[in-house]
Amino acid sequence: MVGVPSRHKSLFLLGAMILLQVMMLAYQIRRDSQGRLLRVWTVGAISPFERAGSYGIGGVKDTWGHYFALQNTSRDNEQLRHENDVLKLQVMQLQSRVSEAERLERLLNFRQAQQQVPMLGARVIGWGADSGTRTIYIDRGEHDGVHRNMGVITPDGIVGKVIESFANTSEVLLITDKDGGAGAMLADSRIQSPVGGTGEPLLEMKYVANDDDVKVGELAVTSGMDRIFPRDLPVGTVSEVKPGNPFKWIRLQPAANLERLEEVIVLTTLQPLDLKKDTVAPDANRTAIDDPAAQIKPASPALPSTKPGTQKPGTEKPAADKPKAPTANR
Amino acid sequence: MNETYDLRSEAESHIEVHKFHAGAIVFTLVIIFFLQAFLPQYFHSLAILDLPLLVTIYFGLSRRNPSTGLLLGMAIGLIQDSLSGPTVPFGLYGIAKTIVGYLASSIGARLDTEHPAARFALTILFFGVHQGILVLERRILLAQPEVWFSLHLAIAALINAVVGVFLFTLLDRLRKPS
């Protein structure tokens, strides 16, 4: 800096440095350059300290959080366990509700499809105490218009018939009971034969001649001859066929899941009925039943009230008061 | 940047020029830039602090040498530019801190700036100068819209001044005994 007075030296230096940086700025803008090399150097110089600091602080926080600041951990753990238990219980309850809703939806669909048929939703409230007989108790009785010999079904198939009717309860004999049964026929071949219970989970089809052709997997439906069940309700599927003397030995798997009944439908008429076939097809299992909200008595406060007085008009009337359905094909 | 270099003029000989231990400035810069980049990660509100500016002011006021002050300010500003990402061009903070470093050392050569109240007032003043230069640069050199004043800037100036008073006291410990 020859020729520059020392007292102006710093001012000159200031001007030079600013000019240099302005030119650097102008160069960056013109060339669209960001001085990558300088940035790499600077970041490379600073980042090790940042990384070390980050690890250091992270380590301190981790150590503090996991080893020292644990005064509430036990209490938190206890509370979380309790919450977990409560949530598990809620999940189970919700799963049960979903399952129930699905069943009721099928009942409702069935009911809507069979509006001309007098029927009544009922909840299974107990099983027969005698292991030798297969009976259930439902929460509908004489006050609801349920009488002896009325048919009990589910959207999947027939269940049994009412054998005793009390004031608010009825006893139903399942078709799998030794004394249970129904008039049936094979859906394809139209061979008619009564189906009876064996006291076991499977049904037996009686009186089918050895000459008749019966295939495993064939569907058996109600024939309507017993004057309890309408025609063409699923009874079961042939699961085993053997030649016998003098008739074939035929076993059927019941269409309705009789081991896990929770809601059923009582056909509140003893007159012959004619159900729409499309709602009772074998795996229409997954399509059917009645107005559960209006007809099934609540098992818990969460379900709507279904006292007779609050039920929909026309859905609770005793069979005798109901108009008869057409009885064609009988 | 020779930490023991002294350019006092005779007229300003009554004002003490502070010298620092070897490596103190470099060590301080490393710590300051580390904190500047690191603290906002955990405490977002601390992004309002401009620690490099405070250090520029402090060393400018302490060294009282305009040449050293402006060079140190330029170095600090350029490092800040390089750490500020690609949206900040090189020279933006460099120019601002060069001027602040020059002004701080020039004022430091004429006034006693050891009293906390003086430091508080000077920090607010230099924060404003720094901000003004940044706005000018953005508007004139980069053609970017930038507000001259906002409440946020006023609060930032106050907070930086308060922090500066404490930081300066802390940095005083790095001085060599006179």
The per-residue pLDDT for range B13-65, each reduced to its tens digit, is 556 677 787 788 888 988 888 888 777 777 788 888 899 999 999 998 888 78
Domain with B140, as residue range(s), is: 16-174
Task: Give B171→chain A minimum CA distance, Å.
Answer: 20
Q: Is residue B146 part of a domain?
A: yes
Task: Give A260→chain B minimum CA distance, Å.
Answer: 59
Strand pairing of A151-154 and A157-165? antiparallel
> What pLDDT does residue A275 have?
58
> What pLDDT does residue A113 have?
74
Three-state DSSP state, A173: strand
Q: Is residue B3 part of a domain?
A: no
Mean pLDDT of A272-291: 46
Instruction: From B137, B74, B133, select the one nearest B101 (Cα to Cα).
Output: B74
> What pLDDT does residue B5 have?
42
Q: Is residue B63 part of a domain?
A: yes
Q: Which residues of B touch A19 (CB under 8 A)?
A: none
> What pLDDT does residue A31 have?
61
**Which of residues A47 and A213 earns the better pLDDT score?**
A213
Distance CA A23, CA A18 (A): 8
Nearest to B86 among A22, A34, A41 (CB): A34
Looking at A134-208, list the stretches that DSSP marks H as alpha helix, in order from N- to C-terminal side: none
Q: Do B92 and A54 touch (CB under 8 A)?
A: no
Flag the least confident range among A47-51, A193-197, A293-297, B46-50. Answer: A293-297
Structure tokens at A317: 């009337």
> What pLDDT does residue A304 have?
34
> What pLDDT does residue B24 have?
86
> What pLDDT does residue A295 have?
44
**DSSP summary character for residue A277:** G
Distance CA B53, CA B163 (A): 12
Neighbours of A244 (CB within 10 A): 12
Q: Which residues pair with A194 in a beta bridge?
A: A183
> What pLDDT does residue A103 have?
80
Q: What is the pLDDT of residues B133-169, one digit of tens each?
A: 999 988 888 888 888 888 888 999 999 999 999 999 9
> What pLDDT does residue B76 have?
92
Helices (H) and strands (E) in chain B, counts: 6, 0
Q: How far is CA A173 from CA A150, A154, A258, A260, B118, in A?
A: 11, 14, 11, 15, 102
> What pLDDT does residue A288 have?
35
Q: What is the CATH number of the domain that holds B67?
A: 1.10.1760
> What pLDDT does residue A36 have?
61
Q: Per-residue pLDDT for A291 more than 90?
A: no
Q: Do A25 and B90 touch (CB under 8 A)?
A: yes
Instruction: From B15, B1, B117, B111, select the one nearest B59 (Cα to Cα).
Output: B1
The pLDDT mean for chain A works out to 76
Q: Do A21 and B66 touch (CB under 8 A)?
A: no
The class level of CATH for A96-320 reads mainly beta
| Residues contacting residue A125 through CB under 8 Å, at least 6 positions apart | A137, A138, A139, A169
> What pLDDT does residue A7 have?
63
Report the chain B residue with the minimal C-alpha distance to residue A56. B38
> What pLDDT does residue A5 have?
60
Mean pLDDT of A79-98: 91
Structurally, how many domains does chain B consist of?
Answer: 1
Q: Which residues of B touch A21 (CB under 8 A)?
A: 74, 78, 90-91, 94-95, 98
**Which of residues A6 and A123 earns the better pLDDT score?**
A123
> What pLDDT does residue A37 have?
62
Report the chain A residue with the minimal C-alpha distance to residue B41. A54
Nearest to A50 among B37, B90, B102 (CB): B37
> What pLDDT does residue A311 have?
38
SS3 per-residue string spanning B44-105: HHHHHCCHHHHHHHHHHHHHCCHHHHHHHHHHHHHHHHHHCCCCCCCCHHHHHHHHHHHHHH
Nearest to B30 among A9, A49, A57 (CB): A49
Q: Per-residue pLDDT for A319 more than 60?
A: no
Q: What is the pLDDT of residues A193-234, one digit of tens each?
A: 999 998 888 999 988 888 888 889 999 999 888 888 888 889
**Which of residues A263 and A325 earns the better pLDDT score?**
A263
Neighbours of A203 (CB within 10 A): 29
Contact (CB, 8 A) for A120 and A145: yes
Nearest to A21 among B30, B95, B106 (CB): B95
Mean pLDDT of A164-176: 90
Q: Which residues of A touch B37 (CB under 8 A)?
A: 46, 50
ipTM above 0.90, yes or no: no
| Residues contacting residue A50 through CB under 8 Å, at least 6 positions apart | B34, B37, B38
How many contacts, defined by CB atoms under 8 Å, are there between A and B? 89
Three-state DSSP state, B4: coil
Structure tokens at B87: 């949206």
Q: Is residue B11 part of a domain?
A: no
Q: Per-residue pLDDT for A287 more than 70?
A: no
Q: Which among A97-111, B69-83, B136-150 has the top mean pLDDT? A: B69-83
**Which of residues B87 and B90 earns the better pLDDT score?**
B90
The pLDDT > 70 percentage for chain A reads 75
The pLDDT > 90 percentage for chain A reads 18
Q: Per-residue pLDDT for A289 more than 70?
A: no
Mean pLDDT of A142-160: 90
Distance CA B107, CA B95 (A): 18
Contact (CB, 8 A) for A205 and A252: yes
